Structure 1
Amino acid sequence: MTKETHIKGGYIFALLALPFIYNDYLLQYNLYYRVILLLIYIYFSYFGSLIPDIDMRGSYISKRFPTIHKKIGKKLRHRSLTHSLIFILILSFLGELLLQYSDNNIVFFCLVSGIIVGVFSHICLDLITKEGVELFYPITINLSILSIKTSSKLEKSICKILNFIIIFLLGYRFYLFV
């Protein structure tokens, strides 16, 4: 999938998970602070939706973080560790450490939640591509649910459909929260 499709997928997954986060963690804060926390959550779901491609030379995220790409990305096959369930567990563990050291600060909770939701969306979208992902890394079996080719007309159509889903979910979430 392309960067644009992953970003839209990250937004959709974030909007789908939003009621759980909002009702359980954000409802206790005043409206202005909630808006700031929601923006942090949405931004980091965007960022998280790009993180797994740090293992691919030339990707948007590897160009933005070349040092990380050189240390980690060059040592990995594309769609291996960073596209696996182990990677989500590693991020969850690191996020839990961050939350413990910040005394469960709500800002860091929104940051960590956004990243994990974004990474999860990326992996789910790459599961429907022809190349698939090594979901159970270090087992080197590529799993693929569909065979959509990256940058194909079908993917571009899916990307357009995701735009409509985002608009619908934004409207629906706004309706529920107001």
Structure 2
Amino acid sequence: MTGKTHLIAGVTMASTIAHYTNYEPLALIISGAVGSLLPDICHGGSKIGRRFPLLSTIINTLFGHRTFTHSLLFLFIIAFVMNRFVPVEALTVGLLAGMISHLILDAFTRRGIRFFYPLKLTVRFPLTIKTGSAIENLIFTGLTIIFFYFLIHIVWVY
């Protein structure tokens, strides 16, 4: 999936959570955006990989693409670190929601993800979507509509 689709999925998931909880919406949405891009730190050409090229190169050299940073293990480590060092629960929830949305979307690609890393098992959905395809654009459009729906409800309530 492209960065824009990951980003809209992360903020859509975060805004949905904000709508149904008492967490600070802005904290959720911003951290959801960051979380939606974080798993691709292992890819130098990604939005976050270009922002942090040295870190991206190190992670890619150690683990490769769509392995460790696209795994349940990485989610647990990030959750542990966030719970331990970040006192704002909404930031943790948003970050993890964004990351989970990223993993779900990448599991829809032919390459899939190594969700159970370090096991060499690739997880992908039976129906796959080509990155940049019309189907991905349709998903992007649908997620954008859902995001604005929840954003309007969040703003209306606040």
Superposition TM-score, scaled by structure 2 size = 0.90
Separation (CA, whole Å) in 1 of partners of 2:55 and 2:84:
20
Larger Rg: 1
1:149 paired to 2:149? no
Separation (CA, whole Å) in 1 of partners of 2:15 and 2:51:
26
Structure 2 stretches lacking a partner, 5+ long? none
Q: CA offsets, 1:38-77, max 9 Å, x none?
A: 3232111101100000111211101101221122232222
Q: Report the alpha carbon displacement of residue 113 of structure 1 after superposing the two structures with TM.
A: 2.1
1:40 aligned counterpart, secondary structure: helix
Q: Who is 1:29 aligned against?
A: none
Separation (CA, whole Å) in 1 of partners of 2:79 and 2:21:
16
**How do residues 24-173 of structure 1 correspond to structure 2 at under 5 angstroms?**
26=23, 37-99=24-86, 105=87, 108-145=88-125, 146-173=127-154
Superposition TM-score, scaled by structure 1 size = 0.80
1:10 paired to 2:7? no
- In angstroms, what is the RMSD of aligned CA positions? 1.7
Q: Report the alpha carbon displacement of residue 5 of structure 1 after superposing the two structures with TM.
A: 0.3
Identical-pair percentage: 33
1:86 aligned counterpart, secondary structure: helix
Tell which deviates more after alignment, 83-92 or 65-74: 65-74
- Letter in structure 1 aligned against 2:137: K
Structure 1 stretches lacking a partner, 5+ long? 27-36, 100-104
- Letter in structure 2 aligned against 1:18: A
Q: CA offsets, 1:75-112, max 9 Å, x none?
A: 2221111111111100011112104xxxxx3xx32322
Separation (CA, whole Å) in 1 of partners of 2:144 and 2:20:
23
